[in-house]
Structure 1
Amino acid sequence: MENGSNIARRRKSALSDGSADYKLKRDEIVKAASRLFRERGYKSTTLAHVAEVAGVDRATVYYYVGSKEELFREAVQDLVNKNAAKAQRIFKSKELDAGQKLVQLVEALMCSYEEHYPHMYVYIQEEMHQVDGDTSEWALAMSRHTRRWETIFMKLVEEGMAEGILRSDIPASISVNALFGMLNWTHRWFKPGGKRGAKEIAAGFCEIFFNGMNPQPVRQKAKTD
């Protein structure tokens, strides 16, 4: 216990000092943990696994992070904040209409999944469904982030309906859930460096969404003999 307390005090002091070398090594450990969470699953990954992949011993891991949960939260928190800020900038743009904003948001989120792989996928795969029942500060922050995205998408879809660029006979909530469903399901099959990049996938999703939400869809005529 005393040794653990000493490590905790040293970790707290090192975090406060903000050394560039300390931050760099901590980031390396977080990245190693993220890969393992993705490959093995959060529950099956231990700090011993993280230490092995990061090339350090377990005691060293504790010098940089206090727990596996902290590793997971560190992996997604910074990315979540950056995504939220970018979403707000797109949403508040005066130069784009509702449809253009939706396109940019879909691309921004998909590109974030690619650039920061696998951080957000770890969250989607392991913890997203549990956040609603968690009252910790981190879980509440993550819930607020999710609601912001949902609110932005909902407002833009409703705006598009009001402007006549999106059909209004389908409830906005169904349309928004369809978009999130396409984006979040990519955690099952998307990996950077594959045949399709994030921008191409985002463009395909937008084609599917906007064609389906076209107020005057092009319908194929049934062939007759």
Structure 2
Amino acid sequence: MEEGSKIARRRKSALSDGSADYKVKRDEIVQTASRLFAERGYKSTTLAQIAEAAGVDRATVYYYVGSKEELFREAVQDLVDKNAAKAQRIFRDKNLDPKQKLAQLVEALMCSYEEHYPHMYVYIQEEMHQVASDTSEWAQAMSRHTRRWETIFIKLVNEGVAQGVFRSDIPVGISVNALFGMLNWTHRWFKPGGKRNAREIAAWFSEIFFNGMQPGAASAKA
């Protein structure tokens, strides 16, 4: 217990100092953990396995992070913040119409999955469904980010319906969930460096969505 307290104090001090070398090594351990979480699952991965894969002992891991949960949260928090900021920039761009904004948002999210693989996929696989019932500060922040994305997509689809570029007979919530479903399901099959890149996939997703949302498209009730 005393040894653990010493390591915790050293970790807190190192984080406060903000050493570049410390940050590089910490980021390396976070990346290693993310890869193992994606390969083996969050629950099945141990800190000992992370330490071995990172080429350090378990005590050294504790010098950089306090727990496996902290490793996981560190892996996704910064990325989610950046994605949210980018989404707001696209949403506020007055030079784009609703259809263009949606296409750019789909591309931005898909490219983020590719560029920062596997961080967000670990979150989608392991924790996304539990966040709503989690009362921790981190979970609440993640829930707010998810709601912001949903709100932006809903507003843009509503704008498209009002402008006559999207059909009005499909509930907006259903169409938005379908779009998120396409994006989030990629955690089951997409890996960077494969036959298709993120931009191509995003373009096809947008094509599928926009074709289905065209006014005059066949209705399921027909």
What TM bracket, shorter-length normalisation? over 0.9
Match for 1:186: what amino acid? T
After superposition, the C-alpha distances for 1:136-167 in whole angstroms (9 at most, x for unaligned) are 00000000000000000000000000000000
Structure 1 vs Structure 2 CA RMSD: 0.9
- 2: distance between equivalents of 1:49 and 1:215? 54
Whether 1:176 and 2:176 are equivalent positions in the alignment is: yes
- 1: distance between equivalents of 2:86 and 2:155? 16
- 2: distance between equivalents of 1:63 and 1:218? 60
Match for 1:199: what amino acid? R
- 2: distance between equivalents of 1:164 and 1:112? 31
- 2: distance between equivalents of 1:114 and 1:5? 38
Match of 1:82 in 2: 82
After superposition, the C-alpha distances for 1:170-214 in whole angstroms (9 at most, x for unaligned) are 000000000000000000000000000000000010010000000
- Give how far 1:71 is off: 0.1
Match for 2:133: what amino acid? G
- 1: distance between equivalents of 2:32 and 2:11? 19
- Give how far 1:23 is off: 0.1
- Number of positions where the alignment pairs a residue of Structure 1 with one of Structure 2: 219
Match for 2:131: what amino acid? V
- 2: distance between equivalents of 1:218 and 1:142? 37
- Give how far 1:218 is off: 7.8
- 2: distance between equivalents of 1:143 and 1:217? 34
Match for 1:106: what amino acid? V
After superposition, the C-alpha distances for 1:19-56 in whole angstroms (9 at most, x for unaligned) are 00000000000000000000000000000010011000
- 1: distance between equivalents of 2:70 and 2:113? 21
Structure 2 counterparts to residues 11-90 of structure 1, below 5 A:
11-90=11-90
Unpaired runs of 5+ in structure 1?
Answer: 220-225
Match of 2:159 in 1: 159
Unpaired runs of 5+ in structure 2?
Answer: none
- 1: distance between equivalents of 2:85 and 2:34? 23
Whether 1:118 and 2:118 are equivalent positions in the alignment is: yes
Runs of 4+ in 1 over 6 A off after TM superposition: none
- Give how far 1:72 is off: 0.1
- Give how far 1:217 is off: 3.0
After superposition, the C-alpha distances for 1:42-92 in whole angstroms (9 at most, x for unaligned) are 000000010011000000000000000000000000000000000000000
TM-score of the two chains, using structure 1 as the length reference: 0.96
Percent identity over the alignment is: 84
- 1: distance between equivalents of 2:52 and 2:165? 53
